[in-house]
Amino acid sequence: MSSRVLFMDVLKRFNVKVFGEGEQYMLFAHGFGCDQHMWRYMTPAFEKQFKILLFDYLGHGKSDSTAYQPERYSSLQGYADDVISICKALSIHDAIFVGHSVSAMIGALAANKQPEVFDKLIMIGPSPCYINEHEYHGGFSREDIESLLNSLESNYLGWSSAMAPVIMGNPDRPQLGEELENSFCRTNPEIARQFAQVTFLSDNRVDLAKLNVPTLVIQCSEDVIAPLEVGQYVANQVQNSTLSILEATGHCPHLSEPDETIAAIKDFLIVEGEPVG
C-alpha cells in the first residue's frame, strides 16, 4: 500500500478534519460515546495559533465502524495506537494533545509509546482508575461499575437516557444532558459496550509516572465520574503537571463552560511558552 493510499485510508477511517492557521498541531480527542462535534465551542479559540486536528474513534461519529477489531480494542492501548497512526499519517510531531475523559489516558499511553509526537498533554476530567482500591479513591466500588456495565449491556438506549444527565451534570440546563444522550445513542452500541468495559475496568495508574511531557490536568469542582480526589491524584503522579480546578461542574466542561475551560488551557500554554492569544 502506497503512503498516499495509507494516508487517505487513515483520514477516512477516523473522519479526520484538519484546519487552522498555525504550524503546531493541536489534537482534540473526544470521550466515550461522543465525537469531534463536541469540541465546536473550543476550537475557534485556538485555530488562529494552531493547526487543529479533530477525529472520531471507530464506532463514533462518522468513523468507519467496519474497521473495528474487538481484539485490538480490548485495551486502551488500541485506541492510543490509533492516535499514533493518525499522527504518523500526517507526519505530526511536538503536538498538543487535548483529551477528554478516557482520552486523557489514551493520550498518556500514546505519549509514553511515542514521546516525540507530543509536546504537551491537556487532560480534561481524567481518571486512571474508576474503582476504589485500598487508599486510592476512584469514585466507584467494583459493584458500582459492574452494575453500570450490566445495565449498559442489557439496555444501551435506556442506560444512555439515564446516565447522560448524570454525567453531564448541570440539571438547570437539560439541553446539555440531551445532547450527550443523543451522542450516546448515535454511537455503535456493540462498540460502545466494549469501549465502556475497557474504559471503566482499566487501571492506568502506573502509566502516569512514566509521562515525560508537560501536562495540564483540568478538574471540575464537582464531577461524579472523576471526583476531585482523582484529579489531584493524577496531578500528583505526573511529574511535570499543573492542576487547574474549575468552578464548572459536571464531566464535560468543554460543553457546559467552554470559556472557563479555554482560559485554563490558554493560561497553561502561556506559562509553557506557546504563542496563544
Q: Are 181 and 165 in contact (CB under 8 A)?
A: yes
Q: How far apart are CA 20 and CA 110, in angstroms?
A: 23
- The residues facing 40 across adjacent strands are none
Q: What is the DSSP string of 140-181?
A: B-HHHHHHHHHHHHH-HHHHHHHHHHHHH--TT-HHHHHHHH
Point out the catalytic residue in the list 63, 101, 103, 183.
101
For residue 256, the one-letter residue type is S
Point out the catalytic residue in the list 30, 100, 251, 254.
251
Q: Are 117 and 96 in contact (CB under 8 A)?
A: no
Q: Tell me, yes or no, if 37 is annotated catalytic.
A: no
Q: Are 101 and 127 in contact (CB under 8 A)?
A: yes
Q: Tell me, yes or no, if 93 is annotated catalytic.
A: no
DSSP H helical ranges for 117-275: 142-154, 156-168, 174-186, 189-201, 205-208, 228-237, 253-256, 258-271
Longest CA–CA span in the chain (Å) reads 52
Count of C-beta atoms within a 10 Å radius of residue 136:
14
Q: Which residues of 73-89 are buried (b: 16+ CB within 10 A; e: fewer)?
A: beebbbbbbbbbbbbeb
For residue 34, the one-letter residue type is C
Point out the catalytic residue in the list 100, 202, 223, 256.
223
Q: Tell me, yes or no, if 223 is annotated catalytic.
A: yes
Count of C-beta atoms within a 10 Å radius of residue 228:
15
Count of C-beta atoms within a 10 Å radius of residue 19:
11
Instruction: Show which residues are catalytic.
Output: 101, 223, 251
